[in-house]
Amino acid sequence: SAVISQKPSRDICQRGTSLTIQCQVDSQVTMMFWYRQQPGQSLTLIATANQGSEATYESGFVIDKFPISRPNLTFSTLTVSNMSPEDSSIYLCSATPALGGEKLFFGSGTQLSVL
């Protein structure tokens, strides 16, 4: 298993600002992901955080809006840039020890509200 620490747990931000969310895993994992959960909706994958290279973004998500870093195997950050009220969501970091067929572990999430 893996324990994932995510911070901040919540934040209230002003329109036009940026917020960086940090994710730390207690053991080495192969895959790290960032999800978004909008109010009343299911989780949507934003991107896969690749160690030492650019993240792989899903359709509808772009690097300029959601820059992601993963400098090593256990740490990743997601930045929500130039925020608008539509960005108000829960953002979740997740990780899996191996590609496919394995449990996905999640951080506790970041509740973001944009005024």
Partner 1 sequence: KQEVTQIPAALSVPEGENLVLNCSFTDSAIYNLQWFRQDPGKGLTSLLLIQSSQREQTSGRLNASLDKSSGRSTLYIAASQPGDSATYLCAGSDAGSYQLTFGKGTKLSVIP
Which residues inside 73-92 make contact with partner 1, applying CB under 8 A?
92
Q: From the CB of 52, what's the least distance to partner 1, in Å?
A: 18
Which residues inside 29-68 make contact with partner 1, applying CB under 8 A?
31, 33, 40-45, 48, 58
CB 25 within 8 A of CB 75: yes
- Phi/psi class of residue 29: alpha, beta or left (left: φ > 0; alpha: ψ in -120 to 50)? beta
The span from the CA of 49 to the CA of 78, in Å, is 9
Contacts to partner 1 by CB under 8 A = 4, 6, 10, 31, 33, 40-45, 48, 58, 92, 94, 96, 99-109, 111
